[in-house]
Amino acid sequence: MSDRAVETRDGRTLLVHEAGDPSGSIVVYQHGTPSDGRLFGPWAEDAGRRGIRLVGYDRPGYGGSTRDPGRRVADAAEDVLEVVDALGGGPFATWGISGGAPHALACAALASGELVAAAALAAPAPYGAEDLDWLAGMGEGNVAEFGAALEGEDALRALLEEMSSGLLAASPEEIRDEMASVLSPVDFEVFSGDVGEFLGSSLRSALAAGVDGWLDDDLAFVADWGFAPNHLEVPTLVVQGEHDLMVPPAHFRWLEARVPAEARFEPEEGHLTLYARFVPTVHEWLARFF
pLDDT band at 83 (very low <50, low <70, confident <90, very high): very high
Q: What pLDDT is recorded for position 1?
A: 86
Residues 6+ apart with CB under 8 A from 262: 235, 236, 237, 238
- Confidence (pTM): 0.97
pLDDT band at 272 (very low <50, low <70, confident <90, very high): very high
Q: Is the pLDDT of residue 247 over 90?
A: yes
Q: What's the pLDDT tens digit per position in 174-202?
A: 999 988 999 999 999 999 899 999 999 99
Least trusted range by pLDDT, from 78-82, 83-87, 169-173: 169-173
Domain count, the chain: 1
Q: Which CATH number covers residue 164?
A: 3.40.50.1820
- What is the rounded distance in angstroms from the CA atom of residue 180 to the CA atom of residue 184? 8
Q: What pLDDT is recorded for position 113?
A: 86
Q: Is the pLDDT of residue 112 over 80?
A: no
Q: What pLDDT is recorded for position 166?
A: 87
Give the distance, in angstroms, between the CA of residue 88 and the centroid of all CA atoms in the same chain: 23
pLDDT band at 160 (very low <50, low <70, confident <90, very high): very high
**Domain coverage including residue 233:** 2-287
Mean pLDDT of the chain: 96
Q: What pLDDT is recorded for position 15?
A: 98
The partner residues of 264 in beta bridges, in order of sequence, read 239
